[in-house]
Amino acid sequence: MQIQAAHGNIFEQKTGLLVLPLKKGETLSTQWKELDALFEQQLSKLLQEQEFEGKQGEALVIPSLGKGKAWKLCVIGIGDAKKFSLESYRVIGAHITKRAKEAKVKQVLIPFEAFPSLEGVSLRVAAERFAEGLLLADYSFHAYHKKAQERVKKQAIDRVECFVGSAAKARQIEAGLEEACAIVEGTCLARDLVNTPSADMTPAHMVDVARELTASPRITLKLLSKAQMEKLGMHGALAVARGSDHEPVGVHLIYRPAKKAKKKIAIVGKAVTFDSGGLSLKPAGGMMTMKIDMGGAAAVLGLFKVLPFLQPKAEVHGIFLAVENMPSGRSYRPGDVVRAMNGKTIEVLNTDAEGRITLADALCYAVKQKPDAIVDLATLTGACVSALGEDMAGLLSNDSKLSQKIQAAAKEAGEPLWELPLYEPYKEHIKSKIADIKNISAHGAGTITAALFLQYFVGDSSWAHLDIAGPAYSERETQPDLPQGASGYGVRTLTRYLQAL
């Protein structure tokens, strides 16, 4: 889908679908007098007959029957103008993509200034959010389904034009559209990686994706082989990987801005390319979506796709240790004790709590880079899904200022999260009698105790942990810009966080 800005009289343009935004409680004849007159007020009457209220996302597609230059018209409800927000732009954009595909059109025209203006929000920012919705809703993953590929190709929208009243306004919008394209490209890369079956999304393949990102001169890549990981003392991650035929590998991407960086930020992702549970084997149903267990690392790769375009002022380190957790005669066992990179010993009571063990070494490695802040993302605990549901991530942090920045970024990005307490007394629940700590607790609060486990490996660093087990993947479409499957959660939040530094 190509999105462009244009200016002029929208009713003089030939197109497949002309979109007519309508506020809740307003009539078509109030907002679109010229068009309604062309149809001799029949459009208004049709909307009344259909009891069209203008609720957000409500839509009615009508053939023009040769009246006007558009093949079809789409009246789209934008809801109560007083409640219209930046998130509304994204949601409405997604609804328009859905309706355009259903209408089987190739070109779409949108009178952008028909949307309510928001105080303090520029045309550029509004257009960026709107285009995010258009593009995110356009995503589909059918790499393994030929008929679906052909169907998607037939339904593809070639061009969307956002019309405004002047060339100056069109230039402002164009800048926002370009930013949206870059951010969505990174988000969709993360979606593709998570959606790809684990047989093809191995640790080695994740390295291939990381290498492709070094096409930008601002990005460099350092790889850690199994031997190098051993030398560094990453015995936790190596233990998890031991049962698999796929070699573990460490990935360290570095983005350096053109000018001297104001901050150094480390972004760490969980990268378990498939999680069988190891010897603490998951039930069959529990394994069906475990290709998603590298969703944190996928977000890191998606973010690095965006960075060269957005050019944040921070030096960014993207770090993950890619492993596969499988059962075999070489697998680590319940009852084993492994030593992490910082020397802490971990009693393994459940090999299915492997993500925190791999993250322990990744976080230790991140600390060695001496960043100003560390943010990790992980599909870590089912407890977080139980607490917050499938749409919302959990946030836990040892730094209230960092937490506030992440929350603000998530709100701007439209990626819901909720802060949970890093409750120190619960550290008693993960104390071990034979090692420094154990990898599970038997006393509930699984999301909190998992984060407290990770805290042992960040030292005094400013750190935030995002448990994305819920929103990383959905078996159904939960909102119009989130199709079934991987969401790419975290790419947009991290982008907004880095932009604000």
Catalytic residues, by residue number, are: 282, 356
Q: How are beta strands 485-486 and 15-22 bridged, if at all?
A: unpaired
Whole-number Å distance between alpha carbons of 105 and 84: 28
Largest Cα separation within the chain, whole Å, is 84
DSSP string, 380-440: --HHHHHHH-SS-EEEEES-HHHHHHHHHHHHHHT--EEE----GGGGGGGB-SSSSEES-
Which residues is 331 bridged to in the sheet?
none
Q: How many residues does the chain have?
A: 501
Helix, strand, coil percentages (3-state) for the chain, rounded to 5, are 40, 20, 35
Phi, psi for 391 (deg, rounded to 5): -95, -15
User: Are 316 and 255 within 8 A, CB to CB?
Assistant: yes
- Amino acid identity of residue 349, one-letter, is L
Whole-Å CA distances, 106 to 102, 122, 157, 236, 257? 11, 29, 4, 52, 39
Side-chain-side CA neighbours of residue 134 (13 Å): 27
User: Are 395 and 464 within 8 A, CB to CB?
Assistant: yes
Whole-number Å distance between alpha carbons of 488 and 197: 16
DSSP string, 173-215: HHHHHHHHHHHHHHHHHHHHHHHS-TTTS-HHHHHHHHHHHTT
